[in-house]
Amino acid sequence: MLYEVEVVAGGNSPMDLNRVFDLLGEPVPVVKVVSSDLSGEDVWCDVTGWGEEGACPAYAVQAEDSGEGVVLLVYGGEDGIRLKPSKGSGEWDLSDGGQWGEPCLMLGAGTPFEGAG
């Protein structure tokens, strides 16, 4: 199944992205993923989708990307996803300097993540 991620740079995402992925499975809700933090260190991060109304569900799925091969695709709302180190605290907030936005993540296929629920 083909899935298009289209995010316009703005309040959450620092960059535009329009890319089509071939999903290799069924997307699952995700709340944590191992990713690089703001200093470039790989840590467990809380993740949420981000849209016009703020936080929304984020999803993870194995996908094929023509440039990257098989990846773990983490995507969310129309404004991408938002991350923060899991050891941090606080509500999701665009003005929190310890959080950051991305259009999506394309991680190694074996990257650990934690599903919702």
What tens digit of pLDDT does each residue of 19-51 get? 999 999 999 999 999 999 989 999 999 999 999
Residue 88 has pLDDT above 90, yes or no: no
Mean pLDDT score, 101-109: 96
Residues paired with 49 in a beta bridge: 56, 81
pTM, to two decimals: 0.94
For 6, the token pair is 């289209």
What tens digit of pLDDT does each residue of 50-63 get? 999 999 999 999 99
The boundaries of the domain holding residue 12 are: 2-115
Instruction: Look at the chain and report how many structural domains it folds into.
Output: 1
Helix (H) / strand (E) containing 12: none
Name every residue whose Cβ is closer than 8 Å to that of residue 91 and which is 6 or more positions away in sequence.
Answer: none
What is the spatial distance between Cα 25 and Cα 42, in angstroms, rounded to a whole number?
25
What is the spatial distance between Cα 102 and Cα 78, in angstroms, rounded to a whole number?
11
For 82, the token pair is 């938002």
Q: Within 13 A of 15's CA, how many CA atoms are on the CB side?
A: 8
